[in-house]
Structure 1
Amino acid sequence: MFKFKTPSQKTLKTMSEVAGGNLENDFEAEAAEKIKDLTGHDHAKITSSGNNSIFIALSAVEGDVIVPDQGGWHGFKQIAKFLKKDIVTLKTDMGLINPDYLDEIEFKENSALIYTSFAGYCAEQDTKGISKYCKSNNITTIEDASAGIGDKKHNLGNGNYSDIIIASTGSPKIINVGSGGFITSNNKESFDNTKLPQKLSKTSQIVCSGICCELENVDEKLEVTLNATKHLKNNIDNTLHANKRGINVIIPHSNAKEISWNLKKALPINKSGFITTCPNYNRVKQKAIAVEIKNLAYECLEKEYLDKIIEEINNQL
């Protein structure tokens, strides 16, 4: 049986000790410093959730909020609507942002583009190209790096490319604490102008201690997940964005619902799941099977488990 990803034993032990009153460090300050080092941004704030990080980031936007037409996170639109921001939808190549398409839409001055490090978790976004276009056109870039933080290639979650970086540290993210999140930026004004939502999003020393632990090897955890996904893409035909780095595998298929159901029975997991069905705005808006490698415990990313997934998928297709 496959296992759903949970925080490491060291993380759980540390959080338990802090919950029991063993509080020798200011873990919130320590976590913020570590995240600043990781992103290269000057300012960082630990938040109570990824959605609260989005709320803070979008609160600072004066113009429109530009969102991808698929492969993003539904919270982008929900929170923008709540904040009464005008939303502009950007056409994508199955979730991948092509900066040229930004020339085809109209948006106000001081608008912001918000997107995830990986389109639908499946394909790495061209953060460099996106950044170059947006800097030239006065568009703030907001990268949700929940899935891309710790990138050894420094393409994702990199403050040189993204004006604002946000993330969730809930389960089963790369920084996997069960709750919490963060926001970083070099723009001090963005932080100064959003003090109220920051105050409302305060988290605990318990969560911050867990984040500190999870950050110790976040790059290795992301690398293992990327390599596992690559192994599946190399051995399954017709995967979406097959040559792109990602942390899940999406397989377009007209009979996606039935195949997904069969795979769930053939590949049982101890809780939650790792086989989902599209169309889904958070993935792609066409019929497809999504294999959420990011949801699996790291022990289940070893070759024997991955080959079992490959075998069952190829038997169904």
Structure 2
Amino acid sequence: MFKFKSPSRKTLRIMSEVAKGNVTTDFEKKCVEKVNALTGKQHVRITSSGNNSIFIALSAVDGDVIVPDQGGWHGFKQIAKFLGKNLITVKTDDGLINTDYLDELEINNNSAIIFTSFAAYTAEQDVKEINRYCKNNGILTIEDASAGIGDSQGNLGCRSDVVLASTGSPKIINVGSGGFIASDNDEIFKKTSLPQKLSKTTNIICSGIDNELDNVSGKLEVSLNATEHVKKHIPDTLHSSKRGLNVIIPHDNAKSICWDLKKTLTTDKSGMITVCPNYNRVKQKAICVEIKNLDYTCLEKENLDKIINEINNQLQV
């Protein structure tokens, strides 16, 4: 049995001490400083969840809200609809945003596109190209960097106009709750004072986020390397050459194979196997192995090879 990712003991210990009143440090201020350093954004707010960060960002959009046709987060669409925004879906290459497809759309002024750092968690978006195109066409870019924050290559979680994230489980910054939103555009925060007040979080959560931020880059790198290893040893994976945090294998018999894999690749909490089609992943039949869900102690080669062997055996049946 594999271990599902959970907050580290150090994170839980610090949060416990704050809850007991033994530590009175202003951790929100520390979090703001660290997120500022990671994203390079001048204005930062710590929130109660990733969805509340999305709510704040989309509340500031006056025009259309553009979402990918797959590989995003269903909360993008739900929140945009709740806010009464005109929703536009852009075609993708299995989740990857191709700016050529944006050229095909009729987009109003003051619009925004919202996307995740990794399409379906399995393939790094070309954030540099997306931002180049959108800047030239007056489109605000909102990047959900829950999985991309701390990228050592400097491609993710820093280039977009708005960078936001969830710090819930099993994210890279893993506290079980909370989130943040960051931008150089102060107007976003001036226009959304009420949603910000409603999404305030506690110093307890901030203390956990503060600790997790200290080693987020290293944890992301470990997860990326683990996924790369698994992709290399399973045939016909989607976006096999792209950096990512899970492995997607298109297969006509995906549902049945996933059912069998859930019996053998088990974790102590939630699972690590997702069946597609699934908007948050891809629209085609596929098996999705959520490496991102696993505790870092499970990402050693020996454990990864067990996953590889089990999947390859099922694919050969």
- TM-score bucket of the superposed structures, by smaller chain: over 0.9
Would you say how many aligned residue pairs link Structure 1 and Structure 2?
Answer: 315
| DSSP 3-state at the match of 1:104 | coil
Displacement of 1:24 after TM fit? 2.6
2:132 is aligned to 132
1:110 is aligned to 110
Letter of the structure 2 residue corresponding to residue 175 of structure 1: I
Query: Using the alignment, how far apart are the partners of 2:286 and 2:28 within structure 1?
Result: 41
2:183 is aligned to 185
Displacement of 1:268 after TM fit? 1.8
Match of 1:276 among 264, 274, 277: 274
Which segments of 5 or more consecutive residues in structure 1 lack a partner in the other structure? Answer: none
Query: Using the alignment, how far apart are the partners of 1:268 and 1:49 within structure 2?
Result: 27
1:303 and 2:301 correspond: yes
Displacement of 1:23 after TM fit? 2.9
1:40 and 2:24 correspond: no
Which segments of 5 or more consecutive residues in structure 2 lack a partner in the other structure? Answer: none
TM-score (norm 1): 0.99
CA contact (8 A) 2:265 2:272 kept: no
Displacement of 1:105 after TM fit? 0.6
| DSSP 3-state at the match of 1:229 | helix
CA contact (8 A) 2:123 2:243 kept: yes
| DSSP 3-state at the match of 1:4 | coil
For residues 193-208 of structure 1, what are the structure 2 equivalents within 5 Å? 193-208=191-206
Displacement of 1:147 after TM fit? 0.4
1:313 is aligned to 311
Q: C-alpha root-mean-square deviation of aligned residues, in Å?
A: 0.5
Displacement of 1:199 after TM fit? 0.2
1:215 is aligned to 213
1:7 is aligned to 7
1:29 is aligned to 29
1:63 is aligned to 63
CA contact (8 A) 2:121 2:246 kept: yes
Query: Using the alignment, how far apart are the partners of 1:23 and 1:184 within structure 2?
Result: 27
1:54 and 2:54 correspond: yes
| DSSP 3-state at the match of 2:96 | coil
TM-score (norm 2): 0.99
CA contact (8 A) 2:28 2:46 kept: yes
Displacement of 1:264 after TM fit? 1.2
Percent identity reads 71
1:284-314 superposed Cα distances (whole Å, 9 cap, x missing partner): 0011000000000001000010000000000
For residues 242-281 of structure 1, what are the structure 2 equivalents within 5 Å? 242-281=240-279
Letter of the structure 2 residue corresponding to residue 287 of structure 1: K
Deviant stretches of 4+, over 4 Å: none
2:89 is aligned to 89
